[in-house]
Amino acid sequence: MISRKEFLKQASLFSAGAMITGPIGSLLSDRFSGPSLTILYTNDTHARLDPFPQNAREFAGLGGIAERASLVKKIRSQNRNVLLLDAGDVFQGTPWFDVYGGAVDLKLMTEMNYDAMAIGNHEFDRGLDGFAEAAQKSGFPILASNYFVRDTPLNPFVQRQLIKEFDGFRVGIFGLGIRLQGVVDRKLYGDVRYFDPVQISERMVQSLRGNNRCDYVICLSHLGYYYDDERIDDHKIAKQVSGIDLIIGGHTHTFLDAPVEVENPSGGKTHITQMGHSGVRLGRLDVAPSDMDSSTIVSGRFYTIGRRD
């Protein structure tokens, strides 16, 4: 692993316009052309701040936050309205977390101008105090609508929802976390209380669409893509709750090459997407706000970070 000093030097190159090695050149549009909103997203990056080693059995040479940052900078330079989101499990997986407890991850994500992240189960791996200590480095909202954190060290850092406006187009974002019992040691999540994701999603949609007049609603979910049992997952949320346009998921490390459409109770379409793990992919969805129904996604694609072919 490279030294922390050298890594931070490389990771900061995006501010100076570092070259991008992924296969993106022909996919980028002219400045400010095309759809009115571009959504970029990651999930389950798991402290993979530098690329996989070249001798890795899987994903050799892929990933790395420095190249992801360069790619995000490039896309932002060519699109006026860009959202950058993460669906949780930023922590745990490499010595970067073992030594710095997630603080470096959140600091670098702040420098990349992430707009929000959801809470993953591994965000609790150093307990509430450790999570809160790292969260001090976050300059963006940490979203968890179905976790009650008021009486915990997380209270200053966690929000239920976020509203962003782009040329008059209002986007509402909320987060869902997995049931912690049985997944995370009780002493690590302490007094954080979990509430039913379906009921909370219905309330969030009502708040965002009704009270806050949002045109487009995004759920950052760390529930998991799909289970064949009673556990709540992204598919169950999409099928049971109307009014969510897009679910950006995590936890199950599912690689989806394109968003999946699910019919919701009102007969509309909810799109579900997820980008695997370890930061080897950056997802992208282009949305046309002029079309106010659930078919607003114009295109969905992903970039492989560090790919050389």
> For residue 117, is it within any domain?
yes
Q: Residue 74: helix, strand or coil by DSSP?
A: helix
Q: What is the pLDDT of residue 299?
A: 78
> For residue 29, is it within any domain?
no
Residue 238 · residue 270 · CB < 8 Å? yes
Query: How far apart, in Å, are the Cα atoms of 307 and each of 24, 27, 191, 272, 282?
Result: 10, 15, 43, 25, 12
Strand partners for 118: 143
* 229-271-157 Cα angle (round to 5): 80
Q: Which CATH number belongs to the domain containing residue 227 in this structure?
A: 3.60.21.10
Chain length of the chain: 309
> For residue 19, is it within any domain?
no
Query: How far apart, in Å, are the Cα atoms of 80 and each of 27, 28, 76, 107, 281?
Result: 16, 13, 7, 24, 22
> For residue 96, is it within any domain?
yes
Question: Left (φ > 0), alpha (ψ -120 to 50) or beta: where does 145 sit?
Answer: alpha
> For residue 227, is it within any domain?
yes
The CA distance from 88 to 220, in Å, is 8
> For residue 125, is it within any domain?
yes
Full-model pTM: 0.88
> For residue 210, is it within any domain?
yes
Q: Residue 95: helix, strand or coil by DSSP?
A: helix
> For residue 13, is it within any domain?
no
Residue ranges, the chain, pLDDT below 50: 1-35, 291-295, 309
Q: What is the pLDDT of residue 290?
A: 53
Q: What is the pLDDT of residue 308?
A: 57
Full domain range(s) for residue 299: 34-304
Q: What is the pLDDT of residue 9?
A: 46
**Total structural domains in the chain?**
1
